[in-house]
Amino acid sequence: MKKIVMTLAFALALTGVNAQTESNNAYNKWSIDLGAGFNKPQRPFNDGYSTNTVSPWTGDLGVRYMFNNKFGLKADFGYNSFTAKGSSIDFDSKYYRVDLQAVANLGRIMNFETWTNTFGLLGHAGFGYAQLRSDNFKGTDEMGNFIAGVTGQIRLSNRIALTGDFSTILNASQDHTFDGAYVPNNRGFSGLIFNGTVGLNVYLGKNTKHADWTVISNEDSDLSALESKVADLESQIKNRPAQKEVVIEKQVSAPQPNDNELIRKMINDKYFSVYFDFNKTTPIENSTAAIDIVLNYLRQNPSATLDLIGYADQVGKAEYNDKLSNTRATNVKTIFEKAGIASSRLNVVANGADTSIQKDSEEARRLARRVTFIVK
């Protein structure tokens, strides 16, 4: 019986992890990426033409979609202005581009969450179409381009991040120098531009956090560990000898706990808890099994009483969290009452926010939103 109960406890934990892994999809995936700064067109230039090493201006406007918390796509429009420095022959050129780029969230790939929840890093690369226009020739010079870069992030809130980006652009089939002179037989990747910008990521969507800052990998490892534990326990139960095959070789002097004592200890040790979604007072569906175990114990032990201890996470004001934790415990009490347990045997305790769990971890906060039990 003890082994069966332990297996059930691990199965309940496994179910809870599954539920929370599924809810990790509840993050925002769209963003608008803005940037403005300086550039350096490196080549090609005609003799006598040049720009400052750091030359204004460049701008970038993009829309990004993340498939998950590590990979995504973005489409962006870029603008560069190239003008002569003091000693150069005068010229004025404009460069326009449109690109489709793959995006990798290097911060999540390299597990930045193990040391910071504020700084992030994105990598991006892709291809696109560009035009060069200059006062030294008529029309437009059309070309293809390849762009790659890295973007540092500082999270200001769940809706905005400050960014700094460095990108390199290679142009293919560029017919004119950046100052406007014609370049015959120069159709390879001859054009080279460096861009540096400062900007913002503006996150869109109804969820609390964007994919850039969502961590889900640890839950996968927790799931694997729990699956392994359940498999080991199932193997032990399957391989144990039948009752008639057990031979007692030695008198056991210490009293052994019976099933009721074991279940009571597991309830009081918080093996069975009822969990809630953010700002909700109705238990999640996967908590039904935990409620059922406690209910069966109360039915089999009519003299037992039960404290229902409600908790909230640390998001929000203390007064609100006290009220939320009380409502959660009261709703679980109502479930027991409707299942036939007398109200006099049930006592609600509102413990407010659980301060033992980190406030800045969305994944950990799921464990704080719960009701636990103490059998008396």
DSSP string of 135-180, one letter each residue: TTSSS-EEEEEEEEEEEEEEE-SSSEEEEEEEEEEEEES--B-TTS
- Give yes or no: residues 147 and 91 share one domain: yes
2 located within any domain: no
Query: Is residue 192 pLDDT above 70, yes or no?
Result: yes
Distance, CA of 266 to CA of 32 (rounded, Å): 49
In eight-state DSSP terms, residue 242 is P
Q: What digits encode the pLDDT tens for the residues 93-150?
A: 999 999 999 999 999 999 998 889 899 999 999 999 999 999 989 999 999 999 999 9
- Residue 189's pLDDT band (boundaries 50, 70, 90)? confident
Res 7: pLDDT: 47
Structure tokens at 58: 């460049």
Tell me how far CA of residue 312 lies from CA of 14, 281, 322, 355, in angstroms: 22, 10, 8, 9
Tell me how far CA of residue 18 lies from CA of 24, 109, 205, 311, 360, in angstroms: 10, 22, 24, 21, 22
- Residue 261's pLDDT band (boundaries 50, 70, 90)? confident
What is the mean pLDDT of the segment spanning 228-252? 55
- Give yes or no: residues 136 and 281 share one domain: no
Res 225: pLDDT: 55
- Give yes or no: residues 189 and 123 share one domain: yes
Query: The whole model's pTM is what?
Result: 0.57
- Give yes or no: residues 41 and 189 share one domain: yes
Q: In what order do the strands lie in the sheet with 346-353?
A: 274-275, 370-375, 306-312, 346-353
Q: 73 exposed, middle or buried (CB, 10 Å; 0-12, 13-18, 19+)?
A: middle
Last residue of a domain, one of 212, 240, 269: 212
CATH number of the domain encompassing residue 369: 3.30.1330.60
Last residue of a domain, one of 182, 197, 212: 212
Averaged pLDDT score across all residues of the chain: 85
- Give yes or no: residues 85 and 166 share one domain: yes
For the chain, how many structural domains are there in total? 2
Q: 269 exposed, middle or buried (CB, 10 Å; 0-12, 13-18, 19+)?
A: exposed
Res 19: pLDDT: 44
Query: Is residue 86 pLDDT above 50, yes or no?
Result: yes
How many residues does the structure list for the chain?
Answer: 376
- Give yes or no: residues 271 and 197 share one domain: no
- Give yes or no: residues 44 and 121 share one domain: yes
CATH number of the domain encompassing residue 169: 2.40.160.20
- Give yes or no: residues 158 and 41 share one domain: yes
173 located within any domain: yes
Last residue of a domain, one of 212, 247, 269: 212
264 located within any domain: yes
Res 64: pLDDT: 98
13 located within any domain: no
- Give yes or no: residues 107 and 195 share one domain: yes
- Give yes or no: residues 165 and 38 share one domain: yes
DSSP string of 243-268, one letter each residue: GGG----S---SPPP-HHHHHHHHHH
Domain that holds residue 40: 27-212
DSSP string of 79-125, one letter each residue: EEEEE--TTSPP-EEEEEEEEEEEEEEHHHHTTGGGT-SSEEEEEEE
On whether the CB atoms of residues 165 and 120 are closer than 8 A, the answer is no
